Structure 1
Amino acid sequence: MVTNIFIIILYVAAFVLIQRRISKLIHEFSASKHINPTRTSLVSKFISLVLFFVTLSMMAISLGIGYQDVSLFVSSAFAVMGMALFAQWSILSNLTAGILIFFMFPYKLGDRIKIIDADVDATGILEEVTLFHLLIKLDSGDTITYPNTLALTHPVIKLTQQHTVPLPTTAPAAVAATTPSEADKVQA
């Protein structure tokens, strides 16, 4: 009984230490990439949940709680995750793609992107990246939600920001005749 309590304490301590370290690494990574804090929190919670189930399974095996029962649970979980990786339209595949996008997507919020897709013109400003989809504000002003799995399977182009400066309404001769001292007086 004492050894079981010791094993439980050991696994809980290991879980807490590893979870804090992973969470710290995720937050440092997101700060360096300027990733939205809400998205960082969601990814951190998801990875903590996966780590919790792995720790729970290992603890159950160590305590001798039916290896067959634990292995059935673990193999079922891996089967679901495997299907999520290959089933392109499922919710789980979007969640998996959202985690991959968090770590590997080279674009930041506010970037102007174009996703090459024959069915829809997804050209606009990247407003938000969630665990399930991207929010892109189109040039027309509409906002589109684009599934994460499609963002990973289609080419994405980062378009250069084209800053347009309004042209002066005065005639070129009048602008040339203005000296810097007169321009300073006008601004004052």
Structure 2
Amino acid sequence: MNIVLSIIFFISFVFLKQMSSKYIQTQATKKNVDDVRSKFISLSVNSLLFILLFSLLLNLIDIGFGDISLFLSSIFAVLGVALIAQWSMLSNITASVLIFFIFPYRIGDKIKIESDEMVGVITDIGMFHLSIKRDDGNVILYPNNLILQKAVIKLTVAGKKTKVHAPVKINRPPLTRSNSEK
């Protein structure tokens, strides 16, 4: 029975991994994201998926959480101390994942960050920061966790200029007088 559950677990993991990777790749293409970043997001999502499915498998084959709680709690204690020491890095990585899925701006968009009065074009979206090229040529590295906390205005869309709508001219045939009007 445990072998059957393990096979089902493996097949489910492979299927869900392919589906999530495909979704992440379409989002990366849609948002013009670098391959390195999309691979990181894919690795993070697939690792979380593995942990969730593996925990479910352990519960199904009666290796309960209580049996491995000492091992897991010691690992989480060490990770907790390490991550608290690097809280800023962790928040930037988490913000990077959020930016990948919900940030409405793409590379090439000209933006304005309200509180800092910064205007520039997004040239790169990395794991820890956005690269913003200002009009004076300087490149500013703006932390991911701060960009989610600030009001950001999109000034132009990547590769497109703002359209100015001109009045529409309608070509009509010239009016002719009927014989009775002449």
Give the corresponding residue for 2:61.
63
* Equivalent runs, 1:158-169 vs 2, <5 Å: 158-160=154-156
The answer for the alignment partner of 2:4 in structure 1 is: 6
Partner of 2:131: 135
- Report the Cα distance in structure 2 between the residues aligned to 1:145 and 1:60, rounded to whole angstroms: 44
Q: Percent identity?
A: 39
- Output the TM-score relative to the length of structure 2: 0.70
* 3-state SS of paired residue (1:50): helix
Where is the helix percentage greater, Structure 1 or Structure 2?
Answer: 1
> Residue type matched to 1:96 in 2?
T
**Does structure 1 residue 150 correspond to structure 2 residue 114?**
no
- 1:108-158 CA-to-partner distances (Å, cap 9, x unmatched) read 10111122234xx53211011122211112233222221111110101111
Aligned length: 154
Q: Is the 8 A contact 2:33 2:125 kept in 1?
A: no
Structure 2 residue aligned with 1:41: 39
> Contact 1:57/1:70 (CA < 8 Å) preserved in 2?
no
Task: Judge conservation of contact 1:60–1:70 (CA < 8 Å) in 2.
Answer: no
Name the SS for the 1:28 alignment partner: helix
Give the structure-1-normalised TM-score. 0.68
The answer to whether the aligner puts 1:111 opposite 2:109 as a matched pair is: yes
The Cα of 1:16 is off from its aligned counterpart by: 0.5
In structure 2, list runs of 5 or more residues that go unmatched. Answer: 162-182
Query: Match for residue 123 of structure 1?
Result: 119
Runs of 4+ in 1 over 3 A off after TM superposition: 69-74, 160-163
Distance (whole Å) between structure 2 residues aligned to residue 104 and residue 67 of structure 1 = 34
Query: How much does 1:23 deviate?
Result: 0.8
Output the CA distance in 2 between the equivalents of 1:149 and 1:102.
13
Deviation digits for residues 58-95 of structure 1 (CA, Å, limit 9, x no counterpart): 22222222322556749x59xx6xx99xxxx6222211
Root-mean-square deviation over aligned CA pairs: 3.2
**Could you tell me how far apart the structure 2 residues matched to 1:68 and 1:90 are?**
33
